[in-house]
Structure 1
């Protein structure tokens, strides 16, 4: 499914119709702001970036046939280190996770796109397809890219 690969690439680092793709949004963040909390009870930019990485890795895992689980690094990982170098590693890890996802998508056979992940939807009681899973990740990237763009204006 070339079109879904293209949409994932656009959300990650391509020509998104809604504005900057998530990589550009992350690259535009001042490292000095990445770990700050601008809104009470809200996540920092770095925490959002780690969350994006976590779920990108989890989607790749599900596409590889692994059972659904919380991401290996957790849903909302907390940065251990809060330095410009740590921020660069967070961006690098997000980039690597997305490149790995895109490589894996390229290996999915056309007849497998309507296969269900092992995720059970609570309402329907059926799994979601690989296509639906990737569409969800694309939406997730756009949603959090908007949050990061707003937070970086503080």
Structure 2
């Protein structure tokens, strides 16, 4: 079977096909730029990093069998501090969230990847996906936002 756990590892801190993995992209951000809004009405790099952490935690929760919900941190958490130490903490929390996800993925049995889960937050909409589809969505989410961060870092 396709090694989906290997793919999240690559996206997070491995040899990602799309370029730098997310951790490398985040580590390349200067702390003084992390909280700036370079584009009016767009998110800052720190907000994107918090969003990535929130959804990584939510995907882990769903894979563990919990019902789909908005991330505990919220969809787009707002940084409470804007210091270099706050930026380091945001990166650290993203790292921990991904390491916890990977640890859980490594104990999922191969047959469980095809188990369907209720994905929709709206119970009137029938929207079931498999565990592997859920994790693949997060991998795509990591790549998409990593690209945004890389572009914002050039300002």
The ranges of structure 1 where at least 4 consecutive aligned residues each deviate by more than 3 angstroms after the TM superposition are none
Correspondence for 1:137: 138
How far does residue 126 in structure 1 lie from its aligned partner after superposition?
3.9
Q: Residue 33 of structure 1 corresponds to which residue in structure 2? A: 33
Label 1:121 to 1:37 Cα distance change in 2 as closer, same or farther (>3 A).
Answer: closer
- Taking the aligned partners of 2:13 and 2:144, their CA distance within structure 1 comes to 15
Preserved CA contact (<8 Å) 1:120 1:128: no
1:121 positional shift: 8.8
Counterpart for residue 119 of structure 1:
119
TM-score (norm 2): 0.95
Structure 1 residue 109: Cα displacement: 1.0
Aligned residue pair count: 154
For 1:9, the equivalent position in structure 2 comes to 9
When residues 126 and 77 of structure 1 are mapped into structure 2, their CA distance, relative to the original with a 3 A threshold, is: closer
Give the TM-score, by structure 1 length: 0.96
Q: Check whether the contact 1:14–1:21 (CA below 8 A) recurs between aligned residues.
A: yes
Matches within 5 A, 1:46-85: 46-85=46-85
Structure 1 residue 95: Cα displacement? 0.1
